[in-house]
């Protein structure tokens, strides 16, 4: 096998991407589809799901609320019937959660953030595990965040969930490694797009500064002084599923331009 071939995921991978209808998830799903994979995406946004499947016929959409365990079970019935198995799980679903001082946050908002960002990953992996163990090329990619290695003032529910994903990843790599299942986490940094703009605006509002000032503050905390693109995250996901990534497991890999603090 040439080095070029080692850098490409195998043809025909069966891939599930959660929250795959927009943002990072949609870019990851499209990247796998362009590499010849059969891809299923789930999301709560029906219109976005329809757009994705129209743009790429090899992407199969299913509406699913990942915080609903019964809905997750129903989704895996479709995974089995549509894909006929599973080689790659990309656990991407997540929300930004509330912004504010810990004593100002509503407990319901904290619980919702943990349910969607963390508990849903447990629910999905529980269903995916038997299918992955039956695969010849099994891989789990959990999407965490640079907040999974740095403290994040005013965003404690989000940061706590992303730190926990790193622990989940490392633990599952040990647990499932003997079955040949590789488990890694990607920690995106500050990713360009509407979602990050909303986060910056919320932080700016909480500190009574302008959006432009807060955006500049974020950039100054990145060694490369630039945000990353969704395509950077998708490229790492493809690499982790390629033969070149075949001995990488249990790792929390930052794709962030070296965010120094947040």
What is the helix (H) or strand (E) element at residue 128, kind and residue range? helix 120-133
Angstrom distance (rounded) from CA 80 to CA 75: 9
Please give the backbone phi and psi of residue 252, each rounded to the nearest 5 degrees, phi first.
Answer: -110, 105
Closest residue by Cα to residue 89 from 175, 229, 185, 228 = 185
Tokens of 38: 């059969």
- 218 is annotated as an active-site residue: no
What is the helix (H) or strand (E) element at residue 187, kind and residue range? strand 182-188
Angstrom distance (rounded) from CA 52 to CA 96: 23
Angstrom distance (rounded) from CA 245 to CA 236: 10
Closest residue by Cα to residue 88 from 29, 132, 127, 125 = 132
Residue at token pair 């895996």 = 76
Query: Mutual orientation of helices 211-220 and 194-206 as an angle, nearest 10°?
Result: 110
Buried-state track 4-28, b at ≥16 Cβ within 10 A, e below 16: eeeebbeeebbbbbbbbbbbbbbbb
Please give the backbone phi and psi of residue 254, each rounded to the nearest 5 degrees, phi first.
Answer: -80, 135
Please list the active-site residues.
158
């Amino acid at each position: 096998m040439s080095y070029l071939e080692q850098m490409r995921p195998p043809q025909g991978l069966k891939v599930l991407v959660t929250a795959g209808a927009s943002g990072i998830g949609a870019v990851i799903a499209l990247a796998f589809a362009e590499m010849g994979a059969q891809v299923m995406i789930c999301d709560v946004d029906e219109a976005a799901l329809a757009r994705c499947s129209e743009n790429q016929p090899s992407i199969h959409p299913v509406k699913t609320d990942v915080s609903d365990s019964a809905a997750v079970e129903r989704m895996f019935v479709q995974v089995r019937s549509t894909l006929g198995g599973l080689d790659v799980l990309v656990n991407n679903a997540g929300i930004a959660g509330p912004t504010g001082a810990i004593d100002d946050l509503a407990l319901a908002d904290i619980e919702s953030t943990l349910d969607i960002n963390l508990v849903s990953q447990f629910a999905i992996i529980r269903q995916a595990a038997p299918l992955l163990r039956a695969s010849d090329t099994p891989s789990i990619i959990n999407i965490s965040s640079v907040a999974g290695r740095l403290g994040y003032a005013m965003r404690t529910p989000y940061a706590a969930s992303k730190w926990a994903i790193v622990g989940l990843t490392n633990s599952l790599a040990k647990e499932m490694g003997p079955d040949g299942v590789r488990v890694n986490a990607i920690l995106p940094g500050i990713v360009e797009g509407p979602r990050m703009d909303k986060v910056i605006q919320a932080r700016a509002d909480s500190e009574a500064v302008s959006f432009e000032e807060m955006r500049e503050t974020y950039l100054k905390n990145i060694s490369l002084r630039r945000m990353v693109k969704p395509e950077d995250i998708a490229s790492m996901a493809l690499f982790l599923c390629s033969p070149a990534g075949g001995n990488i497991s249990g790792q929390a890999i930052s794709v962030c331009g070296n965010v120094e603090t947040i």
